[in-house]
Amino acid sequence: MTEHDSLPPDRRDADSLPPDERDAGAPPDADAGGSGDDVPDAGTTGEGTPSASPGGSMSGAPAEAGPAADPGTSSEGATAEGTPLLSVEHLRMLFPIKAGLLVDRQVGQVHAVDDVSFALYEGETLGIVGESGCGKTTLIRVLVRLLDATSGAIRFRGRDITRSGRRELAPIRREMQMVFQDPQASLNPRKRVGQILATPLRLRGVPREQVARESRELLQRVGMAGDVLNRFPHEFSGGQRQRIGIARALAVDPRLILLDEPVSALDVSIQAQVINLLDELQDEFRLSYVFVAHDLSVVRHVSDRIVVMYLGKLMEVSPAEQLYSKPIHPYTQALLGAIPIPDPRVNRSRQRAVISGEPPNPINPPSGCRFHTRCPHATEVCRTIEPPLTEYAGGHLAACHHPQNVTAGEVAAATRSDQSPLSAGAEGPSLIAAGDGRETSATAPVQR
């Protein structure tokens, strides 16, 4: 029995299938998205402009006929210059902890995502990293509305979708697709590949007689043979299953794909192939990605910017290369120190920050800076006051009272980000323990 089988029927649809399949499975009266009636108009299907190239009509669709023609987004229009494709403001997801034999009482809350704000721009890849349990999966499940946020706002092309109903969400869900960590669990084991791809293609409005051809083209585009439509998911390797998962996401002609550890379950050589494939698809279909991983080595080459999370909070947000060359947050430094270097001699001799101890309990997170129980630079202020997200030069944000790798001048020029948590204190950072002989004790108020 697979993980998919073992889920109760309602969760099978709600959790382990991507939004397009969930909608497709709904009775027509429950959601127009589930009927053939609500498929985008002919303009969004690529009008069966099959090209000889792999990808067929997919390659012609996105730029001209895609989102602008979609009835769900036309009122907002295409993303205006400077308007993020997706943005979140002070987003929180707290899971209630219940106890009691006869009556459920709430005895606590898991702080899975706690006051998180960021923006993603068209064509961008935003990497999200952090240790197991820091809230990465919860965050992207909230973004695609598989979970309802406790508070805060999610905007897609500027439109607030935080509380949108299924009917209003249906066209947006076709623009936002999700690829799951475990391709075995996310593909329905009782459906053949042809059926798995047919559902989203029909949802996009592809005429029934063209579905098989488009399915074959999609499979070829993700590097699979087109003649596997009659096979079941268990007949493929993990890498092939992940390619099928990517093909399924592409089938609805999305603008944004949220990838939850898409290569963690694959061995290293296959990881590289899948990452290269995602890279090519991004250029070809003008996709934006949110790419979740638990270590910094995977996201380095795919991300434009990287978000580092710890215990539900943002610790650092930075252009990708800058995060590796100049990590400001002690937690980021520790994550970087955990990346193995292939040469064992270099690996042994290098000095690296290590994180001691286990992550604290997210039901009762530490006061002040959540990282203070494990941080080698923690002082009293860290235990009592939550640091604001502070913006340094180059769009580099970090939430730390004692930032690393920055000079007094850089601290003086830094500003408090409006993405700071509401619970953060007013105090800006001071410099201690830069560890390389530069000025290390200046206290500089953050400009507001």
- List of residues contacting ligand SF4 (CB under 6 A): 329-330, 369, 371-372, 375, 377-378, 382, 387, 400-402
- The reply to whether 215 sits near Mg ion by the rule CB under 5 A is no
Distance CA 48, CA 284 (A): 18
Q: How far is the CB of 264 from Mg ion (least distance, A)?
A: 9
| Positions in 16-75 near ligand ATP (CB under 6 A) | none
* Virtual torsion, Cα 389, 401, 395, 438, nearest 10 deg: 180
Q: How far is the CB of 110 from ligand ATP (least distance, A)?
A: 4
DSSP state of 161: -
In contact, 140 and 292? CB cutoff 8 Å = yes
Contacting residue, 294, 374, 401, 416, with ligand ATP by CB under 6 A? 294
Contacting residue, 46, 245, 362, 428, with ligand ATP by CB under 6 A? 362
Q: How far is the CB of 136 from Mg ion (least distance, A)?
A: 5
The nearer residue to ligand SF4, 141 or 374, going by C-beta atoms, is 374
- The reply to whether 112 sits near ligand ATP by the rule CB under 6 A is yes
Q: How far is the CB of 309 from Mg ion (least distance, A)?
A: 11
In contact, 14 and 6? CB cutoff 8 Å = no
Distance CA 434, CA 425 (A): 22
- The reply to whether 366 sits near ligand ATP by the rule CB under 6 A is no
Write down the residue that tokens 């270097």 correspond to.
341
Among the residue ranges 1-9, 128-136, 248-256, 394-402, the one whose residues contact ligand ATP (CB under 6 A):
128-136
- Nearest partner of 177 among 73, 268, 248, judged by Cα: 248
Contacting residue, 22, 92, 136, 377, with ligand ATP by CB under 6 A? 136
- The reply to whether 137 sits near Mg ion by the rule CB under 5 A is yes
- Nearest partner of 43 among 63, 27, 29, judged by Cα: 63
Question: DSSP string spanning 389-444?
Answer: PEEETTTEEE--SS-SS--HHHHHH-EE-TTS-TT--S---B----SSSS----B-
The nearer residue to ligand SF4, 152 or 403, going by C-beta atoms, is 403
**Which residue type does 358 have?**
E
447 by DSSP, 3-state: which?
strand
Question: DSSP string spanning 36-54?
Answer: GGGSPPGGGGGGG---SST
- The reply to whether 419 sits near ligand ATP by the rule CB under 6 A is no
Q: How far is the CB of 150 from ligand SF4 (least distance, A)?
A: 24
Residue 110 binds which of ligand ATP, ligand SF4, Mg ion, none (CB < 5-8 A, kind-dependent): ligand ATP
Q: How far is the CB of 316 from ligand ATP (least distance, A)?
A: 16
Angle at 53 (CA atoms; ends 49, 56), nearest 5 degrees: 35
The nearer residue to Mg ion, 137 or 430, going by C-beta atoms, is 137
Q: How far is the CB of 219 from ligand ATP (least distance, A)?
A: 28
Angle at 412 (CA atoms; ends 411, 414), nearest 5 degrees: 60
Task: Locate the DSSP E strands across 212-365.
Answer: 256-260, 288-293, 305-310, 313-319
Q: Which tokens in the block code for residue 55?
A: 């990808």
Residue 133 binds which of Mg ion, ligand SF4, ligand ATP, none (CB < 5-8 A, kind-dependent): ligand ATP
Residue 362 binds which of Mg ion, ligand ATP, ligand SF4, none (CB < 5-8 A, kind-dependent): ligand ATP
Q: Which stretches of the chain bind Mg ion, using CB under 5 A?
A: 137
Site residues (CB under 6 A) for ligand ATP?
95, 110, 112, 130, 132-138, 294, 362
